[in-house]
Amino acid sequence: MNRRVVITGAGVVSSIGVGVDEFWRHCLQAKSVVAPIPENWGRYANLHSRIWSPLPDINPEYLGVTRTERLQLDPGSVNALGAAREAFERAGFNLVPDADSSRVFSLEGVDAARIGLYLGTGIGGAHSFLHNHTHHLYQRARAALKDYAETRAPAQDRETLDGIVALMAHGPRYHPFVVSMLMPNASSAAVAIKFSITGPNVTYCVACASGTVAVGNAFRAVRDGCVDVAVSGGCEYLNDEHGHIFRGFDVAGTLVRDCADSETANRPFDEKRSGFLFSQGGAAVLVLEELEHAQRRGATILAELIGFAETFDAHSMMSLAPGGEQMERMLRAALADAGVDAHDVDYINAHGTGTKNNDETEAEVIDRVFGKSVRVNSTKSLLGHTIGASGAIEILVTALSLRDQTTHVCKNLAAPLRDLNFVRAVGPFDLRVGLSQSFAFGGHNAAVVLRRFH
Partner 1 sequence: MNTDVQQRVIKAIAEVLERNEEEIRLEASLRDDLGFDSLKQMTLFILLEDEFQRTMAPEDLMGIATVKDIIEFINRKLQEPASK
Point out the residues that are catalytic: 208, 351, 385
Q: Binding to partner 1 by residue 196, rule CB under 8 A?
A: no
Binding mask 150-169 for partner 1 (x = CB under 8 A): -------------------x
Nearest approach, Cβ of residue 83 and partner 1 (Å)? 24
Binding mask 98-117 for partner 1 (x = CB under 8 A): --xxxx--------------
> In angstroms, rounded to a whole number, what is the distance separating the alpha carbons of residues 449 and 323?
22
Query: What torsion, rounded to 10 degrees, do the Cα atoms 291, 294, 300, 302 define?
Result: -40
Q: Binding to partner 1 by residue 177, rule CB under 8 A?
A: yes
- Residue (29 or 101) nearer to partner 1, CB: 101
- Residue 75: which of 63, 88, 92 has the closest Cα? 63
> In angstroms, rounded to a whole number, what is the distance separating the alpha carbons of residues 354 and 277?
8
Nearest approach, Cβ of residue 235 and partner 1 (Å)? 22
CB distance 361 to 313 below 8 Å? no
> In angstroms, rounded to a whole number, what is the distance separating the alpha carbons of residues 307 and 398?
14
Nearest approach, Cβ of residue 177 and partner 1 (Å)? 7
- Residue (34 or 181) nearer to partner 1, CB: 181
With contacts defined by CB under 8 A, name the span among 51-59, 175-183, 256-264, 441-449 that binds partner 1.
Answer: 175-183
> In angstroms, rounded to a whole number, what is the distance separating the alpha carbons of residues 375 and 196?
40
Residues, the chain: 454
Q: Binding to partner 1 by residue 175, rule CB under 8 A?
A: yes
Angle subtended at Cα 54 by Cα 386 and Cα 407, rounded to the nearest 5 degrees? 55
Burial of 229 (0-12, 13-18, 19+ CB in 10 A): buried
- Residue (46 or 68) nearer to partner 1, CB: 68
DSSP helix/strand/coil, 20: helix
From the list 152, 154, 155, 176, which residue makes contact with partner 1 (rule: CB under 8 A)?
176
Ranges within 318-377 binding partner 1 (CB under 8 A): none
Give the binding-site size for partner 1 (rule: CB under 8 A): 16
- Residue (29 or 66) nearer to partner 1, CB: 66
Nearest approach, Cβ of residue 102 and partner 1 (Å)? 6
Nearest approach, Cβ of residue 166 and partner 1 (Å)? 12
**Number of alpha helices (DSSP H) and beta strands (DSSP E) in the chain:** 14, 17
- Residue 400: which of 315, 286, 306, 319 has the closest Cα? 286
- Residue 191: which of 202, 175, 176, 177 has the closest Cα? 202
> In angstroms, rounded to a whole number, what is the distance separating the alpha carbons of residues 82 and 62?
8
> In angstroms, rounded to a whole number, what is the distance separating the alpha carbons of residues 345 and 374?
7
> In angstroms, rounded to a whole number, what is the distance separating the alpha carbons of residues 305 and 116?
16
From the list 25, 35, 62, 71, which residue makes contact with partner 1 (rule: CB under 8 A)?
71
Nearest approach, Cβ of residue 7 and partner 1 (Å)? 34
- Residue (176 or 298) nearer to partner 1, CB: 176
- Residue (72 or 300) nearer to partner 1, CB: 72
Longest CA–CA span in the chain (Å) reads 79
- Residue (152 or 173) nearer to partner 1, CB: 173
Nearest approach, Cβ of residue 171 and partner 1 (Å)? 8
Binding mask 49-68 for partner 1 (x = CB under 8 A): -----------------xxx
Q: Binding to partner 1 by residue 300, rule CB under 8 A?
A: no
Residues that bind partner 1 (CB under 8 A): 66-68, 71-72, 100-103, 169, 171-173, 175-177
